[in-house]
Every structure is written in structure tokens, then in C-alpha cells.
């Protein structure tokens, strides 16, 4: 059990004007993604991973590409992503914040 304050977490830069912070337990990870480079002219490249994912749009507006489907989502909307399903986003607003939960923990996001 632990408490985390936003100002005490080290943000990782994963692209120009893109940052993320992550916390995790043994089997669950929460990642806050901040995109400050929108709106984007095209979607990010599709990617897939073996983790289950739930994404909550905290602020902003995106097109979420999931498998063969796409949906415009905005603050308050959510999407569930099964393992190994290709997905991506396209930001539609200047800034977007996503809160994503992953299980198991994404080792590639650990420091």
C-alpha cells in the first residue's frame, strides 16, 4: 500500500510534448499519459501488447482505433482493450490526458 502525489512522481518523456507517469502493484499498473502536441493530423501507429488495458479519457478528445473499429471519445469516456488487439489514438484537441490501467504490469514502462 502506498500514496503517490503528482508532484512527487517523475514524468517520463516518451515523445515531443508527451509525458507519462506510472505506479504499480505486483499485478496492476496505472499510467497517466499527457499529450500536449495536438491536434494530430493522423493517428499514432497501431500497436499491440499482451496486457489487458482499460483507458479513461480524463480530458480532451481523441479518435480511438481498436482493431477494425474506431470511435471518437472525449472526457469521461472509456474503452477496454483485450490483449494483442492493435490499437492507437489520434488527438483531436491541443491537449489530452488519458488514465490507463494495465494487467499484468507493463515491464517496458518500468524505470
Least Cα distance to 38 among 56, 53, 16, 54 occurs for 16
Domain 11-109: give its CATH superfamily.
Answer: Jelly Rolls (2.60.120.10)
| Average pLDDT along the chain | 97
Residues 49-71: pLDDT tens digits? 999 999 999 999 999 999 999 99
Handedness of CA 85, 66, 32, 77 (dihedral sign): negative
C-beta separation of 84 from 51 below 8 A: no
Evaluate if pTM is beyond 0.85. Answer: yes
Through-space distance between the first and last CA atoms of the chain, rounded to whole angstroms = 20
User: Given phi > 0 = left and psi -120 to 50 = alpha, else beta, which region is 76?
Assistant: left
Handedness of CA 5, 19, 96, 77 (dihedral sign): negative
Amino acid at each position: 500500500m502506498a500514496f503517490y502525489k503528482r508532484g512527487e512522481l517523475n514524468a517520463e518523456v516518451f515523445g515531443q510534448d508527451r509525458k507519462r507517469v506510472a505506479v504499480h502493484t505486483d499485478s496492476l499498473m496505472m499510467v497517466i499519459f499527457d499529450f500536449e502536441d495536438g491536434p494530430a493530423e493522423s493517428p499514432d501507429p497501431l500497436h499491440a501488447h499482451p496486457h489487458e488495458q482499460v483507458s479513461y479519457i480524463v480530458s480532451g478528445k481523441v479518435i480511438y482505433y481498436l482493431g477494425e473499429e474506431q470511435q471518437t471519445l472525449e472526457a469521461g469516456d472509456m474503452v477496454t482493450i483485450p490483449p494483442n488487439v492493435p490499437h492507437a489514438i489520434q488527438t483531436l484537441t491541443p491537449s489530452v490526458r488519458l488514465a490507463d490501467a494495465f494487467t499484468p504490469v507493463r515491464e517496458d514502462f518500468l524505470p
